[in-house]
Amino acid sequence: MSYVKGLKCRICGTPYQVDPLAICEECFGPLEVDYDYDAIKVKLTKEEIASRPGTMWRYKELLPLDGEPTVGLHSGGTPLVKADRLARAIGVRELYIKNDAVSHPTLSFKDRVVAVALSKAREFGFDAVGCASTGNLANSVAANASAAGIPAYILIPDNLERSKVLGTRIFGANVVPVRGNYDDVNRLCSEIAGRYRIAFVNVNLRPFYGEGSKTFGYEIAEQLGWQLPDAVVVPMAGGSLITKIHKAFKDLEKIGFVEPAEPRFFGAQATGCNPIAAAVKAGTRDITPVKPDTIAKSLAIGNPADGYFATGVITETGGWSEDVSDPEIVEAIHVLAETEGIFTETAGGVTLAVTRKLISQGRLNTNSRVVLAITGNGLKTQDALSLVDLQPIEPHLSAFEKLIAGEAKKLAA
Ligand SMILES: *Cc1c(COP(=O)(O)O)cnc(C)c1O
Ligand SMILES: [Zn+2]
């Protein structure tokens, strides 16, 4: 059933066979999966897709497996929420939230990339998997590996949120905190992958991992009735997701599912780790690595692997990239929760806070259809919030009435 032609270097175009390989031997550029779009266009119909279960695998012809998926069968299919109250609050005509805060099984969009990467790792015959993670990837690799019965080696920076560490260890994986930041962890994983037969989903399996993110984009288009939005705002860590949503929209044009359009891509980062936003603002595609220092730990990648391509997508589509402070991130988490009832993690706070900033700068057209990528769940980053302790009342009606004194008339039966 595979429509994969092979791997191809994103810089020099050199073709490769399908192998657990991520880097071009000619130019050190990243490899990506290349498909036979003409064949897919002939074979695949919207009706066929509509007849399938509401998971990410309904787009399997556009994913890089040879056979049926074996890991993460229930991932994807998250809601696209029309966010009218938030739209009024920030002044946008038509606003949607693609809500991967409720992703199965680990409450972030990383479930999509892991479903593809681990299914592919099995096709390649790996007996062990792993990842370098800023938290959510660790959760998802650990959960999916345990469900598949594959041993996992998960390397994380030693300063991650408690909930993210707990939400990894619970699955019984080998969790290895490393003294250092994500970039140190990632380098170590590359060395390990060079010596041991471990499928590191975002290192040696990176080309396949990235393809899973495309389903976030396919779903947006299908949920809009096979139309593309005018703009998307996407949080960036390594810069992969934003480029893959772009690829997803292009894929759908190539197979004739959507009218050609030019959605603008806006990239969101925290000021404490803004290498991609800084490059966009400086008008360059060359990334200057930074040392991360922000509460948005899931986005704390100082040397983003796909930074060059993320800046390309942002500038070529007429978008922009901004960054926001930690207090702005926290404030935005509250705004999203109080307007739409959606509790996102710090990365989602980054997305919404950057959206507000882009609006105030006049860079995001408010008279358009905008989608915000909400990629993770707020219960995982409670450390970032500080709500004052509530005072208990006595179990008497009078105590409750004292509390609602101002509202009592309105609420009276
Ligand atoms: C990993 C992650 C991202 C961004 O990932 P990329 O490396 O840019 O693809 C965004 N949001 C959350 C919650 C994440 O965990
Ligand atoms: Zn190359």
23 alpha carbon, closest ligand: 2
> What's the 125 CA to ligand 2 centre distance in angstroms?
26
300 alpha carbon, closest ligand: 1
CA atoms within 13 A on the CB side of 310: 33
Pocket test for ligand 1, best of 299, 343, 350 (most atoms within 8 A of CB): 299
CB 62 within 8 A of CB 42: no
The predicted structure's pLDDT at residue 413: 84
**Strand residue runs (E) in 122-259:** 129-132, 152-157, 174-178, 199-200, 231-235
CB 139 within 8 A of CB 164: yes
Q: What is the dihedral of CA 36, 40, 43, 48, to 10 degrees?
A: 160
* Kind and range of the H or E run holding 371: strand 369-374
pLDDT tens over the chain, length 413 residues: 699 999 999 999 999 999 999 999 999 999 999 999 999 999 999 999 999 999 999 999 999 999 999 999 999 999 999 999 999 999 999 999 999 999 999 999 999 999 999 999 999 999 999 999 999 999 999 999 999 999 999 999 999 999 999 999 999 999 999 999 999 999 999 999 999 999 999 999 999 999 999 999 999 999 999 999 999 999 999 999 999 999 999 999 999 999 999 999 999 999 999 999 999 999 999 999 999 999 999 999 999 999 999 999 999 999 999 999 999 999 999 999 999 999 999 999 999 999 999 999 999 999 999 999 999 999 999 999 999 999 999 999 999 999 998 898 888 88
Classify burial at 236, counting beta carbons within 10 Å of its beta carbon; exposed 0-12, middle 13-18, buried 19 or more: buried
Pair of tokens at residue 204: 């040696």
Please work out whether the CB of residue 233 comes within 6 Å of at least one atom of ligand 1: no
CA distances from 176 to 1, 152, 156, 192, 381 (A): 38, 11, 6, 13, 20
User: What is the layout of strands, in order, in the sheet containing 321-324?
Assistant: 80-82, 94-99, 369-374, 231-235, 264-270, 321-324
CB 318 within 8 A of CB 263: no
Between CA 412 and CA 408 the distance in angstroms is: 6
Nearest to 196 by CA among 251, 259, 151, 247: 151
CB 98 within 8 A of CB 122: no
Alpha helices in 32-161 (DSSP H): 37-43, 46-50, 84-90, 110-123, 136-148
> What's the 54 CA to ligand 1 centre distance in angstroms?
23
> What's the 9 CA to ligand 2 centre distance in angstroms?
5
Q: Phi and psi of 236, rounded to 5°?
A: -125, 130
Instruction: List residues, by chain if needed, whose CB lies under 5 Å from ion ligand 2.
Output: 9, 11-12, 14, 24, 26-27, 29
Please work out whether the CB of residue 274 comes within 6 Å of at least one atom of ligand 1: no
Question: Reduced to 3 DSSP states, what percent helix, strand and coil does the chain have, rounded to the nearest 5?
Answer: 45, 15, 40
The predicted structure's pLDDT at residue 409: 84
User: Which atom of ligand 1 is closest in space to residue 234's alpha carbon?
Assistant: 10
Between CA 131 and CA 137 the distance in angstroms is: 7
Between CA 389 and CA 68 the distance in angstroms is: 50
Strand 129-132 versus strand 152-157 pairing type: parallel
Between CA 58 and CA 100 the distance in angstroms is: 17
80-106+213-384 CATH fold: Rossmann fold (3.40.50)
Q: How far is CA 87 from the centre of its chain?
A: 22
The predicted structure's pLDDT at residue 352: 98
CB atoms under 10 Å from CB of 214, counted, come to 28
> What's the 137 CA to ligand 1 centre distance in angstroms?
9
Max intra-chain CA distance, the chain: 77
Classify burial at 201, counting beta carbons within 10 Å of its beta carbon; exposed 0-12, middle 13-18, buried 19 or more: buried
Taken in order 273, 340, 216, 243, the sign of the CA dihedral is negative
CB 216 within 8 A of CB 210: no
Nearest to 157 by CA among 192, 188, 182: 182
Between CA 300 and CA 171 the distance in angstroms is: 24
Between CA 374 and CA 376 the distance in angstroms is: 6
